[in-house]
Structure 1
Amino acid sequence: MLRYSLPTVLLLATACVPLGTPITDPNAPRGSQQQRPPEYYADKTLRYEDYTYSPDVRSVQCYVATGQNTEIFQPPVVPISQQQPIVLEFDMLGNGSQRLTAKLVHCDVDWKPSVLTDLQFLSEINEFLITDYRTGVNVKVPYYHYRMQVPRVKLSGNYLLVVSSGGGTPVVSRRLLVYENGVEVAMRQGIPVGGQERYTLQQVDFSIGYNGLNLVNPSQEVKVMLRQNFRWDNAKTNLRPTFVRDAERRLDYQYFNFENAFPASSEFRYFDMRSLRTMGAGMAELDPTTSPRTVVLSPEATRNGQSYTQFEDINGQRLFESREYGNGDTNGDYANVTFQLRAPQAAPGPVYVFGALSDWKLQDEFKLTYNTEQQQYTGTALLKQGYYNYYYVVGKAAGAPMTCTSKAATRKPKISTTC
């Protein structure tokens, strides 16, 4: 199922994207601890995006604490009232806890630091010691689980939450959005204008009513960001209205060159690793005697050109859980998970496992290696116990967009609004 956060509207807002983990050698002995390339994490420069700066930081989650079982799927987007707080959780591999602090950075519409001082958007000192942490219980891969509730802010806008180690080096950053309902958004599913694109793309047309605002140049003052499943990697930015209706005080966005269209793709693939004693869906092998434990997923094939098959997915997300002991936060262990993708020939670019498990980025750890004799891609990544959604994607040259290895017929998206 595809859901759209449509659209994020910024009105002259002084209003702040993901990475994660290192490459592993799929040809190394199963169960062995893989060597991480230091160059992946060498640059500790703060990035104003969702990013992980340390190879020891794993399983990052940032969500709105609604009190429901599905709260971890709620993106960190809240109204200025913030009746339900934003929560950040992550694991830090190792046998000892660390002194970690967090701070908020107020950002402008382009996710650059704004000129506001801390006291203009906070009522307290902008340094928060993370004191809520617990050790993993009965696990082969030792770790500490950290959790913090993000403090309330006084102004709406874009914020970057930065967690740093004792020396001030960033270890993880996450984008947060705080909004005020100043406009009215109406939307509908559009039909891509074109030939084959209507079978592979999903288009969303929408309009923005600004009757309650005094705008001099609304086409320039209203900034729109369109996201698919609350992702940042393929967000549509700098969208300009196709029609400005001054008399009705409304902006219409209906494009003809796919500016507001997203690849539909197929349903996400999945595997169930909530148990490390018995094999779940998608698992072909399980060795609980190794350290870390070893899991081999069932070989899969490309779905390119196949008919679309519908089933419920969780939009590329993952859920951490231990079926034996419950409470995946501290009872979930880590395992070396091997992915297998059959292919008669190598793809035109590097192939990756992609989704929330990779922070929606083409990460080195999730890059697969092609074996010509076996006609198969394989790769191994260290993952926490849980239920996972993912795609296989083909990367392009640096800076170019990526394409999914499977395309599907158009299907009606489920849509939700975040403004």
Structure 2
Amino acid sequence: MKFKLLLILLLSCKILQAQIKYQNEVYQSNIKTVQLYNSTQESSFPIIGLHTNDVLLLGFDDLNGGTKTYNYTIEHCDADWRPSGLSPSEYLQSFTEDRIMDYRYSFNTKQKYTHYQLKLPNYNIIPKLSGNYLLKVYPEGNPSEPILTRRFYVVDNKAGLAAGIIPSNNVVNRSANQKINFSVNISALSVQNPYAEIRTIILQNGRNDVSTINTNPQFVQGGILQFNDFQTNDFAGGNEFRRFDLRTLLAGGEHINRIYRDTANTVMLMNDKPLTQTAYTFQYDNDGKFFILNTDGRDPRTDADYAHVYFNLNYSPPNLNDAVFITGKFNDWRLDESSKMNYDASRGNFYTDLYLKQGIYDYHYVLKQNQEIDQTSIDGSHFETENDYQFLVYFRRTGSRYEELVGYQLINTTKGNSFR
């Protein structure tokens, strides 16, 4: 009997592992507008300091409306976003799961929804180790069928970091790429072998799909690791993001062509064109982020409405089998059927519509050729482009079962350093 119970438990764990993706993911179509950020600034990088007063804020909408009981938990992961294998009692100093108690119904909107909100840490869920964490939200009693997962970070700042951004060392890419040289100060850590115990991950604009891993410093001297290899950390600068302003449905905003308000809201954007042949032009953007805002209401969490937003790109691909996707933080930079655009060969035009909540949105177009992803063929790439780079320093002590996050730094190509 005990053997059968153990077998059932193991099979249940395998099913749960198979269904949960250790990435930012929405598992049900009725769940929309998921945000997780440091509460000091909307849409900021989801990182908090260990044993500090920092708070993360999670928000999402359930378009099915009504009241549902959603529970959540968090799991410690390594730098590659694989489960650390620690028991919850090792990385939590509180309960292992909790219920989301803060929810509100939409008001005066065509699309009815219920907005859920959660603050982390709280009295019931408190991480006690630094590192990567996966937040899982699921219906009460059914953790094997999550509605969403979100990545976030807890840092115990012990490593210092300094970085500089220069044009690419490769002459061909000097006008398009941003080369990063940096150093990590590990003198406050008990590091025996920096080549095996320390690794630094660099993200461009918080994107895991545009990142590099650094494990081999070129020089180690006096507790300082120097990373200035000729070829590594050479990022395409990209271009300033396209954006549109849908803070109001009563009048046109930036990049809005027409708005139709009937039984549902429909928004037609201005036509877009490729930017690869144009010189760099500064344009204020939010580095791919989005912000939920409604100038016609009081609380955009519950009175911002949803609209069908239509995108049009005047672009003829090199091959008819090429695919174009529209991405941004609003869809977790996803390249799948939900972000894939339709092609009208007779007009040389890509088009699609997305169901989005009112606000300000950054976006850009991605080309896919023969399974190869090209981030710059449509929107271009320039060294001058303003970008955020997040530096994450991990430390796995010799014999340790998990990786600590011991350093974090945000560096902007034009503004310099800041914590967020």
TM-score with structure 2 setting the length: 0.83
Q: Which residue of 1 aligns with 2:106?
A: 136
- Which amino acid counterpart does residue 288 of structure 1 have in structure 2? R
Q: Percent identity?
A: 29
CA gap 1:54/1:351 in 2 versus in 1, 3 angstroms: same
Matches of 1:266 and 1:210 in 2, distance apart?
A: 34
Matches of 1:231 and 1:109 in 2, distance apart?
A: 14
- Which amino acid counterpart does residue 214 of structure 1 have in structure 2? S
Within 5 A, what are the aligned runs for 1:312-351? 312-345=284-317, 349-351=322-324
Q: 1:374 aligned to 2:347?
A: yes
Q: 1:153 aligned to 2:127?
A: yes
Matches of 1:55 and 1:242 in 2, distance apart?
A: 47
Residue aligned with 2:108, SS: coil
Matches of 2:237 and 2:220 in 1, distance apart?
A: 29
Shift of 1:418: 5.2
Matches of 1:418 and 1:395 in 2, distance apart?
A: 34
Q: Which residue of 2 aligns with 1:100?
A: 70
Shift of 1:217: 0.9
Equivalent residue for 1:285, pick from 258, 265, 270: 258
Q: 1:241 aligned to 2:217?
A: yes
Matches of 2:223 and 2:18 in 1, distance apart?
A: 46
Within 5 A, what are the aligned runs for 1:335-414? 335-345=307-317, 349-398=322-371, 400-404=372-376, 405-411=378-384, 413-414=413-414
Residue aligned with 1:60, SS: strand
Q: Which residue of 1 aligns with 2:177?
A: 201
Residue aligned with 1:244, SS: strand
Q: C-alpha root-mean-square deviation of aligned residues, in Å?
A: 1.9
Matches of 1:341 and 1:401 in 2, distance apart?
A: 18
Within 5 A, what are the aligned runs for 1:2-401? 45-66=19-40, 71-151=41-121, 152-166=126-140, 167-168=142-143, 169-245=145-221, 248-257=222-231, 259-291=232-264, 293-345=265-317, 349-398=322-371, 400-401=372-373
CA gap 1:344/1:362 in 2 versus in 1, 3 angstroms: closer
Structure number with the bigger relative contact order (C-alpha 8 A, sep ≥ 6) is 1
CA gap 1:275/1:345 in 2 versus in 1, 3 angstroms: same
The answer to whether the Cα contact below 8 Å between 1:353 and 1:368 also exists between their aligned partners in 2 is yes
Shift of 1:157: 1.2
- Which amino acid counterpart does residue 46 of structure 1 have in structure 2? I
Shift of 1:387: 0.8
Deviations 1:91-126 (A, max 9, x none): 111132221100010112322112322122222211
Matches of 1:205 and 1:283 in 2, distance apart?
A: 40
- Which amino acid counterpart does residue 308 of structure 1 have in structure 2? Y
Matches of 2:178 and 2:215 in 1, distance apart?
A: 17
Structure 1 gaps of 5+ residues are 1-42
TM-score with structure 1 setting the length: 0.84
The answer to whether the Cα contact below 8 Å between 1:346 and 1:370 also exists between their aligned partners in 2 is no
Residue aligned with 2:133, SS: strand
- Which amino acid counterpart does residue 130 of structure 1 have in structure 2? I
Deviations 1:175-194 (A, max 9, x none): 11111122221211133111
Q: Which residue of 1 aligns with 2:410?
A: none
CA gap 1:172/1:44 in 2 versus in 1, 3 angstroms: farther
Matches of 1:162 and 1:345 in 2, distance apart?
A: 39
Matches of 2:283 and 2:87 in 1, distance apart?
A: 48
Residue aligned with 1:83, SS: coil
Matches of 1:210 and 1:155 in 2, distance apart?
A: 19
Matches of 2:373 and 2:346 in 1, distance apart?
A: 30
Deviations 1:13-33 (A, max 9, x none): xxxxxxxxxxxxxxxxxxxxx
Matches of 2:150 and 2:250 in 1, distance apart?
A: 34
Matches of 2:361 and 2:190 in 1, distance apart?
A: 46
- Which amino acid counterpart does residue 377 of structure 1 have in structure 2? F
Q: Which residue of 1 aligns with 2:7?
A: none
Deviations 1:186-224 (A, max 9, x none): 211133111221111111100112122222111221011
Shift of 1:302: 0.6
Matches of 2:239 and 2:58 in 1, distance apart?
A: 30
- Which amino acid counterpart does residue 288 of structure 2 have in structure 1? G
The answer to whether the Cα contact below 8 Å between 2:306 and 2:355 also exists between their aligned partners in 1 is yes
